[in-house]
Structure 1
């Protein structure tokens, strides 16, 4: 039986010619959020489509997803096109459109490449935080919240803090080995930073999410289906938008990904 996440991002190839690909999929209710699917799952759909269309042997290095409108339950078409293919790197763009819409609901750009043996370094270290078993699970009141196990580790009282910074553990509630699509999905799990500032729940919507994937095949294998740690903060908000940043670490201390997003919000000036 397939994992619920794999079911949610499953695609059927309709056409693949040269540097183009077209696929079909279905939005289910398993990972529903306020407006359509959870953003991390939507981004993973696009990552999956571009990965299926790209050349064998290439890995996802970065993806930027723009959320232009919500998706409804039912079928969708995903189109992908390679804008440039080099010896070891390809630059892709993809979009998702549903039959009842004149324009795409989502679009993304992705870079795929072959990783090589090179000089390596990591700036900074994984924060020291309580282990997942010592943290209380938080279940967002949406369908996707049951599917992802989220455990805030520090600065857990989001309505009683002077900072937008906190850490949280996250993994799929139903065990699933980590891979690029799963890492893209988990990058969108942090509680919106505007709640920390407004001290309440306010209307919001992510408009753009970027994930830079640093993990090697060995890193994915070592992480397995265990928790990853997200170290999150926001730099500035105002004018109806704010940014949000996170570093994603394996339990062993490997930096797996860095991510940032821009979020639209609606909150009265204090």
Structure 2
């Protein structure tokens, strides 16, 4: 029996040529959000398509996903194209199109590269926070939250927050080993930053998300299916948009990924 996340990323090759692949799929129901699938799953779906299209041996280094509209229930086409292939890097683009739409629902660009032995460093440290076992669960009232467990561990109360910086532990509810597509998905789990400002809920939508992947195969193997911590904050909000910056840490303190978002929101000035 396959994991629900892998079921959500299922793709069938419909057409293939050098530097181009078109896949067919069906909108995943298990990870539904307010409008269409949860953004993290949608980004992971585009990542999956480009990872399958890229040359063997290359690793996903970064992916930027633009959420132009929500996916509707039913079949879709995921098309990928390689814009440049070098000796150690490839640059891919992808989009998801549905037959009754005049434009793609989502689009993404990704960079793939060869990982090799080089000097390493990490700036900053994982926040000092209670372990996941000591934190209470938070379950958003959306179908996707049945499959991704969330336990806030720093600045968890949006109604009394003094800043947008907080942290939470996340993992798949049913154990699944961490990999690159899982990191892309989990990067979208932090509580929206504007909630910490208005001390409540408001209408919003992520319009673009970039994930930079740092984890080696050894880092991923060490993390396994354990909890990872995501710390997040906003730089500035105004004019209907705000940014979000986040870092994903393994329980042992390895920096696995960094991520940024731009979010549209509707909270009006008092």
Deviates more, 1:169-178 or 1:13-22: 13-22
Task: Name the residue aligned to 2:253.
Answer: 253
Report the CA distance between 1:162 and its aligned residue. Answer: 1.4
Matched, 1:185 2:185: yes
Deviates more, 1:24-33 or 1:76-85: 24-33
Q: State the distance in 2 between where 1:49 and 1:133 align.
A: 35
Contact 1:31–1:37 (CA under 8 A) maintained in structure 2: yes
Q: State the distance in 2 between where 1:211 and 1:28 align.
A: 22
Runs of 4+ aligned structure 1 residues displaced above 6 Å come to: none
Report the CA distance between 1:28 and its aligned residue. Answer: 2.3
Q: How does 1:10-49 map to 2 (within 5 A)?
A: 10-49=10-49
Q: State the distance in 1 between where 2:14 and 2:73 align.
A: 20
Report the CA distance between 1:17 and its aligned residue. Answer: 1.2
Q: How does 1:147-166 map to 2 (within 5 A)?
A: 147-166=147-166
Q: State the distance in 1 between where 2:96 and 2:155 align.
A: 37
Task: Name the residue aligned to 1:53.
Answer: 53
Task: Name the residue aligned to 2:209.
Answer: 209
Contact 1:25–1:75 (CA under 8 A) maintained in structure 2: yes
Task: Name the residue aligned to 1:73.
Answer: 73
Secondary structure class of the residue paired with 1:31: coil
Q: State the distance in 2 between where 1:254 and 1:200 align.
A: 32
Report the CA distance between 1:21 and its aligned residue. Answer: 0.7
Secondary structure class of the residue paired with 2:158: coil
Q: State the distance in 1 between where 2:9 and 2:230 align.
A: 23
Deviation per residue, 1:138-184 (Å, 9 max, x gap): 00110001110000001111111110000100000010000000000
Secondary structure class of the residue paired with 2:41: helix
Secondary structure class of the residue paired with 1:182: helix
Deviation per residue, 1:186-208 (Å, 9 max, x gap): 00000101111011110000000
Aligned length, in residue pairs: 270
Task: Name the residue aligned to 1:262.
Answer: 262
Deviation per residue, 1:99-131 (Å, 9 max, x gap): 111110000000011101000000011111100
Task: Name the residue aligned to 1:83.
Answer: 83
Q: State the distance in 1 between where 2:268 and 2:87 align.
A: 51
Structure 1 alignment gaps of length 5 or more: none
Q: State the distance in 1 between where 2:45 and 2:29 align.
A: 15
Aligned-residue CA RMSD (Å): 0.6
Secondary structure class of the residue paired with 2:159: coil
With structure 1 as the length reference, what TM-score do the two structures score? 0.99
Contact 1:247–1:257 (CA under 8 A) maintained in structure 2: yes
With structure 2 as the length reference, what TM-score do the two structures score? 0.99
Structure 2 alignment gaps of length 5 or more: none
Q: State the distance in 1 between where 2:253 and 2:162 align.
A: 27
Task: Name the residue aligned to 2:222.
Answer: 222
Contact 1:95–1:107 (CA under 8 A) maintained in structure 2: yes
Contact 1:92–1:111 (CA under 8 A) maintained in structure 2: yes
Q: State the distance in 2 between where 1:28 and 1:164 align.
A: 31
Deviates more, 1:133-142 or 1:20-29: 20-29
Deviation per residue, 1:38-64 (Å, 9 max, x gap): 000000000000001110011100000
Q: State the distance in 2 between where 1:191 and 1:210 align.
A: 17
